[in-house]
Structure 1
């Protein structure tokens, strides 16, 4: 099986991955859903600082990219939850080492961010 040229020529898979997880909140959404389905309100509480508009759009994007499944239970009051698809689960697991790296380097990164934020 050959790799499509548009993937190889632009980073051998990295470009495709970044197209899926682009956006400030998508990696966090995937990370928090890796332990099971969550309702919208749960996701909103877990991701500090995200607006409703942006969160809704990013959830729709992930659903369109087939990494997230939205289940509407057709109940009153409305009940909807979001869960990872098998493709989404594999992507979420790929994000875990990045979380580990961030934790292991948190103090150094805090220093770098402080210096960068202090620059004019």
Structure 2
């Protein structure tokens, strides 16, 4: 019998023509590396990012609506430092409700998609 062994990537939607805004947020503000899309998929637009084991794919959706409830939760090593970095890029951080063992909160990507940031507390 087969079994789930991990998570390969999270797909988020974005509006057509949003690649530069996606790069400014995911690459420049969050610090993820952009990875090339396979050529047969690149023609559709969008972009892919990865870092620290997280893989986020942004695909163009014609009737785009941001995901405000469904979201990826990214583990970070220093939430305070990342929040300061994001604030320098004019990204608003909203502190999350307490969750045992974590400091956490949310940001929105340039398209309104919710991104949760979580730091494991020692």
Q: More helix per residue: 1 or 2?
A: 1
Could you state the TM-score of these two structures normalised by the residue count of structure 2? 0.27
Could you state the TM-score of these two structures normalised by the residue count of structure 1? 0.28
Q: More strand per residue: 1 or 2?
A: 2
Select the structure of larger CA radius of gyration: 1
